[in-house]
Structure formats: structure tokens, C-alpha cells
Homo-oligomer: A and B are copies of this chain.
């Protein structure tokens, strides 16, 4: 469904959010250990998330990645997915036509419509906050 990069990006964002609630910054090393991802690759993805203003980076000693606490509830999954995979997954044509066009639909267009809208809706309405809180409370997991 999503690229590996996107999966790592989502999980990393969640972990950074959790640590941010505790006022702590985290390193790519700590993140990749916690979400079970390749460290250097994860660091690259973090750069993309910084560029797209999902997470904040502080360089130098005692630096790391963090998210402002009051921003966590405003960040939606869609923003993370968009930063890494773009919007093709829920806006592009399911069969790879150059664009999804109501007036020139592919064979699966109507069938796909609701599925893709459901996906889009879910991504746009799911906040980092709720995902992070479920991890904190132990009702969901970041690895294995």
C-alpha cells in the first residue's frame, strides 16, 4: 500500500511525538531501534519530514528530532504520506491512467472511488495525536 519509506516515516513521526510529550528529543539511532528500520535510511526520511514541516530538527549537541506538543494534534496522516509518497495513492488512477478523470474513467474507476475516498478520508482525519496516545497506552505497537 505505502512505500517502505512512508511506513518508516509514519512510525518515526509517532515515536517522535511520544517522546516530545515527555519533552525529549530523539536521534535517528533511537528511532530506528524503536521502529525496527534501517538507521541511515530513516535519517533520510526524517530530512523529508523536516522539509515538509512535520517534525522539527535541532542540530548540534543535545539536538535531535521533536514535534511541538500543541502541533501534534494538528498533524494528520495525510501530511506525512504526502511528504513521502505524494498523493497518487488516493488521487491518482488505480489502473495507472495519466490522471483519474470522471469524464474519461478507467474500468475500475467507479468501483475504486469509494475505497480511495475512504482512504483519503481516513488519512485526512487521523491525527498523530491519536496514534501516539494508543502507543503510549499500550494498545498498539510500533514493531514486530
Q: Are A140 and B1 in contact (CB under 8 A)?
A: no
A104 interface hit (Cβ, 8 Å): yes
Q: What are the residues of chain B within 8 A of A131 when measuring CB–CB? A: 107-108
A-B contact pairs, 18 of them (CB 8 A): A1-B89, A2-B94, A2-B95, A4-B96, A7-B96, A105-B139, A106-B142, A107-B131, A107-B132, A107-B140, A107-B142, A108-B126, A111-B126, A112-B122, A114-B118, A115-B118, A115-B122, A118-B118
Q: Which residues of B contact A89 (CB under 8 A)?
A: 1
Chain B hits for A111, CB < 8 A: 77, 122, 126
A143 at the interface (CB under 8 A from B): yes
Sorted nearest first, the 5 A-B pairs with minimum C-beta distance are A107-B131, A7-B96, A107-B140, A115-B118, A115-B119
Given known A118-B114, A118-B115, contact A105–B4 (CB-CB < 8 A):
no
Task: Count copies of this chain in the complex.
Answer: 2
Question: Which B residues are CB-close (under 8 A) to A96?
Answer: 4, 7
Most buried by B among A97, A98, A105, A132: A97
**Binary CB contact string for chain A from 121 to 144 against chain B (1 if under 8 A, 0 otherwise):** 010001000011011000111111
Asked whether B108 lies within 8 Å of A141 as measured between CB atoms, the reply is: no
A95: chain B residues at CB < 8 Å are: 2, 7, 10-11
